[in-house]
A and B are shown apart, each in its own frame.
Chain A
Amino acid sequence: AQRVTQPEKLLSVFKGAPVELKCNYSYSGSPELFWYVQYSRQRLQLLLRHISRESIKGFTADLNKGETSFHLKKPFAQEEDSAMYYCALIYTDKLIFGTGTRLQVFP
């Protein structure tokens, strides 16, 4: 079955430290993967998608088919990065989300 796993519920780092939010997926075909972010009291919004290969707000994510992973990385965390992050896989037009990781960046 198609599944997205985010093993960490909470990740806490200090400002300026590197960040890696883990995402593993289960899917037999060629996956289309997304990272969505939800800042406090805001709606869920797209951060990046793997097919565009963009870097948004300093975040990047590389699809590793061998490890079935799509980890989100940022070399230097900022306080404004504190938010809830969801990894998602698209399957037959619908998004399958992981349970999310809360990132806390301390000053």
Chain B
Amino acid sequence: DTGVSQDPRHKITKRGQNVTFRCDPISEHNRLYWYRQTLGQGPEFLTYFQNEAQLEKSRLLSDRFSAERPKGSFSTLEIQRTEQGDSAMYLCASSLNSGRADTQYFGPGTRLTVL
């Protein structure tokens, strides 16, 4: 499968614990995005990278959230000191920057449950 992959698919954690998610984009894609989706809502943008540079972070992204893409390939999203409000589906997407509106291809998501 050459699509976007995410690991793990599900994560259950206790409040206050740290969690880390991984995203592997489509291999030739230079842009990688993170979105969060809660029940009954569409995905909301969190942050994105072009190669290894983080170009934008949403105001939704508190200081407890950090994302990296160290070699311009896979990315990790870490949440420190998780809260119940962090429970959501975390989606990763990738695209090839063409200078116009790129089509973003989504992964299957990581569902986080904070108890």
Q: B43–A44 contact, CB under 8 A?
A: yes
Query: Which stretch in A59-67, A71-79, A88-96 binds the other chain?
Result: A88-96
Q: B56–A93 contact, CB under 8 A?
A: yes
Given A43-B108, A43-B109, A92-B56: A97 in contact with B103 (beta carbons within 8 A): no
B21 interface contact, C-beta 8 A: no
Question: What is the minimal beta-carbon distance from B8 to any residue of chain A, in angstroms?
Answer: 15
Question: What is the minimal beta-carbon distance from B92 to any residue of chain A, in angstroms?
Answer: 10
Interface size on B, residues (CB 8 A): 26
A8 interface contact, C-beta 8 A: no
Q: A94–B56 contact, CB under 8 A?
A: yes
Question: What is the minimal beta-carbon distance from A21 to any residue of chain B, in angstroms?
Answer: 13
Complex Cα gap A43–B109 (Å): 8
Q: A88–B42 contact, CB under 8 A?
A: yes
Looking at the complex, which one of A9, A90, A98 makes contact with B101 (CB distance below 8 Å)?
A90
Q: List 30 A-B contacts (CB under 8 A).
A: A4-B42, A9-B40, A32-B100, A32-B101, A36-B106, A43-B4, A43-B107, A43-B108, A44-B91, A46-B103, A46-B104, A49-B101, A51-B100, A51-B101, A88-B42, A92-B56, A93-B55, A93-B102, A94-B45, A94-B48, A94-B56, A95-B35, A95-B43, A95-B104, A96-B45, A97-B43, A99-B40, A99-B41, A99-B42, A100-B42
Residues in A lying within 8 Å of B, measured CB to CB:
4, 9, 32, 34, 36, 43-46, 49, 51, 86, 88, 90, 92-100
For the complex of A and B, the 7 pairs showing the least CB-CB separation, nearest first, are A97-B42, A32-B101, A44-B106, A94-B45, A90-B101, A43-B108, A97-B43
